[in-house]
Structure 1
């Protein structure tokens, strides 16, 4: 008698893309004339992890808003990153992870005025004018920023 093999059909989640020098410009180029939100977070940032539930609710309730997640962790943390994203139903959106030996260089490419504090959220309107905010935001603060970046001409 042959052994019975059970295969659970679970969708494979793509690993986060490697965020290297030039990736920030690639993000902008890949989203022409489109408002979006870039969330920079880390598996070692307790405030970031607490914010995941709200980000998940926003992702579900505002499908018109493109959300991009960038983990400011090393590539070796990819499995932990994926686990956190899957837990909060954020693994189906565009995800990146730092992949440069010099994270300060990546931070500088994103924003020369940013010192690396997390969480850090950038709100881009369709012309890619951006507003960067450090720290955890309330639902009302997110909504206020979405109103600014999603407003029609």
Structure 2
């Protein structure tokens, strides 16, 4: 599916009254701008965490949302932070995806800078935008980035190392 078709589909969904599920909590999305990555590191000082970068236009990302929900429930000791690489115009769709996958209790950010490449570079100069992208960041802020979808076994093996 081309990017134009995906954009049109998202626009159609948003304009058709696609809303959050009944009783769903609205997700608070923090604006990810230059300097946000350092603020994220500062707020997680001396704590390991996982940064999941995803998009509503990434089919692998969408397929893995239920797994992220399961991880958040079964591994509460892991701080999971989610960053949508969509721009601010997709806020409603991002909130809907997160609510439908019961991920509202996590920390959420969304790109709000027009120059997404600048934001990606700030996170990791070696990352070129492929999604999903997951960073496992230990308590010393040493990070390990992985592009592509991960299995539950992959996550658990990495958590063993991250938490030690």
Shared fold by TM > 0.5?
Answer: yes
Counting only pairs closer than 5 Å after superposition, residues 1-153 of structure 1 correspond to structure 2 as: 10=23, 12-151=25-164
Aligned equivalents of 2:60 and 2:25: distance in 1?
A: 28
Is the CA contact (8 Å cut-off) linking 1:13 and 1:92 kept in structure 2? no
TM (normalized to structure 1)?
0.90
Aligned equivalents of 2:27 and 2:50: distance in 1?
A: 20
Aligned equivalents of 2:140 and 2:47: distance in 1?
A: 7
How much is the aligned-residue C-alpha RMSD, in angstroms?
Answer: 1.3
How big is the shift at 1:55?
A: 0.6
Structure 2 portions without partners, runs of 5+: 1-21
How big is the shift at 1:33?
A: 0.3
More helix by proportion, 1 or 2? 2
TM (normalized to structure 2)?
0.84
Q: How many residues align?
A: 143
Structure 1 portions without partners, runs of 5+: 1-8
Is the CA contact (8 Å cut-off) linking 1:15 and 1:78 kept in structure 2? no
* Pair 1:57–1:11, CA change in 2 (3 A): closer
Cα-to-partner distance string for 1:98-122 (whole Å, 9 max, x where unaligned):
0001000000000000010000000
Show structure 1 runs of 4+ deviating over 4 A.
9-12
